[in-house]
Amino acid sequence: MSMIKPIFILLLFQLAGEALRAATHTQVPGPVIGMILLAAFYILRRREPSPALEHAADGLLSWLGLLFVPAGVGIVANIALIRSAWLPISVALIASTFITLITTAWIMHRFGNRASIPKEGR
Amino acid sequence: MTWPDLTQSLTPAVHAGLPLFAIVLTLGAYLLGVEMQKRLRNPLANPVLIAIVFIGITLRLLHLSYQDYFTGAQFIHFLLGPATVALAIPMVRALEHMRRGFWPLMSALLAGCILGIVSGYGLVRLFGGSQAVALSMAPKSLTTPIAIAVSASIGGIPSLSAVLAILGGILVAISIDPILNWLKINEPSARGLAAGTAGSGIGASRVIPQHTLSAAFAGVAIGANGILTAILAPILVPLLKHW
């Protein structure tokens, strides 16, 4: 019983996200809009999510990798698309991904700390 | 009985219980991946990658199409929606942390977003790839549905962008620990934001179990990078084409 309410809330917000997406013709997927709506709901109402909802969310997220497997199987079956230009594609994919990863992490590392962690006494 | 005979004779049985077979196969392949990750302790032993390869080989041996597989696998795929919504929960938890570090967060996101588009496009062109391939590379860091939409709107090949988004996510899941350990970047906030910005959902799946802050920042990064790229790519692409 305690699982039904969290599942209802997550699906309700996903549905709201899908509805908003359809109404505004945006490119942002329904579940991403649902995520923003759910976060805004708790932030604006200054309320904590219930322990049951936290439990369900943590449970689903700990298996996030599994949930990408069905789409991954289908998409990697299309891997022949890469063959036409495998050299520029593999160089760009690897280098560009590393550039993005390192830049984002480094800026947070270099500037994020001071702003978000209380100063240490020395 | 030879191996092809064996798989031939198994095929009708598999077809009879197809949706269930696909679900059991997906769960089993992923659990196998998790087990191999524990045993091998090698970043290449990523559960998502292992599961995809294992299922791909199994389908081929049993003469099953992707449509056959998806009749069952769609039930697992469906959970991706509520799981994405669930990313809001760690975000709410980390709100205070994010408010205090708002500007570094925004700068890191913007830099990652712009560099991802520009370097993806530029490197394909530099190494002799066509305009269409370069445009398909531009949104590769995004979550697959946004990557497909952005690719279509800027003149890329949407199905190629989808492949690149999944491969890019797997690449992040495999490489994030070795790279950031080497650079000594250990904050869960930096790791989460980088995983979500560079590798969206699959990248995030690697860091989410590590810390609740990683999950929160990864969730913000997936949403924000998707929205930022959808806005910035159509502005940046005409400039890139000139250059």
Contact, B133 vs A81, CB < 8 A? no
pLDDT at B8 over 70: no
Mean pLDDT, range A107-113, rounded to an integer: 85
What is the reported pLDDT for A88?
94
pLDDT, position A47: 83
Which chain A residue has the Cα nearest residue B119? A96
Work out the average pLDDT over B184-191: 93
Average pLDDT over residues B72-84: 92
Nearest CB to A82 within list B85, B88, B163? B163
Report percent pLDDT > 70 for chain B.
Answer: 93
Contact A88 B76 (CB under 8 A): no
Judge contact between A9 and A57, C-beta under 8 A: no
pLDDT at position B94, please?
Answer: 86
Task: Give the separation between CA B118 and CA B114, rounded to whole angstroms.
Answer: 6
* A8 in contact with B, Cβ within 8 Å: no
**pLDDT reading at A95 higher than 90:** yes
CA–CA separation, B84 and B78 (whole Å):
11
Q: What is the pLDDT of residues B43-74, one digit of tens each?
A: 889 999 999 999 999 998 998 999 999 999 99
Q: Report CB contact under 8 Å: B144, A62.
A: no
**What is the value of pTM for the model shown?**
0.86
The burial class, CB within 10 Å (0-12 / 13-18 / 19+), for B186 is exposed
* CB of A27 less than 8 A from some CB of B: yes
Rounded Cα distance, B198 and B121, in Å: 15
Q: What is the mean pLDDT of residues A13-37?
A: 90
* Structure-block tokens of residue B229: 């790229």
Using CB atoms, which residue from A36, A100, A113 is nearest to B198?
A100
Query: What pLDDT is stored for residue A116 in this prediction?
Result: 44
B223 contacts in chain A (CB < 8 Å): 28, 32, 35-36
Which of A1, A9, A19, A20 lies closest to A60, judged by CA?
Answer: A9
B91 and A27 in contact by Cβ < 8 A? no
Cβ burial of B201 (10 Å; 0-12, 13-18, 19+) is: buried
- The stretch B64-86 carries a mean pLDDT of 92
Tokens standing for A65?
A: 């990798």
Residue A46's CB is within 10 A of a number of other CB atoms, namely 7
Which band of pLDDT confidence, cut at 50, 70 and 90, is reported for residue A119? very low
CA closest to A87 among chain B residues: B127
In a mutational test of the A interface, the residue from B55, B85, B148 whose CB has the highest number of chain A CBs within 10 Å is B85
Whether residues B30 and A77 touch (CB distance < 8 A) is answered with: no
pLDDT band for A113, please (50, 70, 90 cuts): low
Instruction: Please write the tens of the pLDDT for every residue from B205-232.
Output: 999 988 989 999 998 999 889 888 888 8
The yes-or-no verdict on residue A118 having pLDDT over 60 is no
Nearest by CB: B127 against A7, A34, A92: A92
Residue B114 confidence class, pLDDT cut points 50, 70, 90: very high
The pLDDT tens digits for A39-86 are 999 999 888 899 999 999 988 888 889 999 998 898 777 788 788 889
Cβ neighbours of residue A100 under 8 Å, at least 6 residues apart? B112, B115, B116, B119, B141, B194, B197, B198
pLDDT of residue B109: 94
Please state, for a pLDDT cut of 90, what percent of chain B lies above it: 58
B169 touches chain A (CB under 8 A): yes
Is the Cβ of B126 closer than 8 Å to some Cβ of chain A?
yes
Q: Which pLDDT belongs to residue B238?
A: 87
For range A1-5, the mean pLDDT = 80
The pLDDT assigned to A117 comes to: 45
Q: Is the alpha carbon torsion for B137, B141, B144, B146 positive or negative?
A: negative
Give the separation between CA A95 and CA B18, rounded to whole angstroms.
Answer: 40
- For residue B146, which phi and psi values (nearest 5 degrees)? -75, -40
- Of residues A85, A69, A107, the one with CA closest to residue B75: A69
Instruction: Name the residue among B68, B71, B76 with its Cα closest to residue B29.
Output: B76
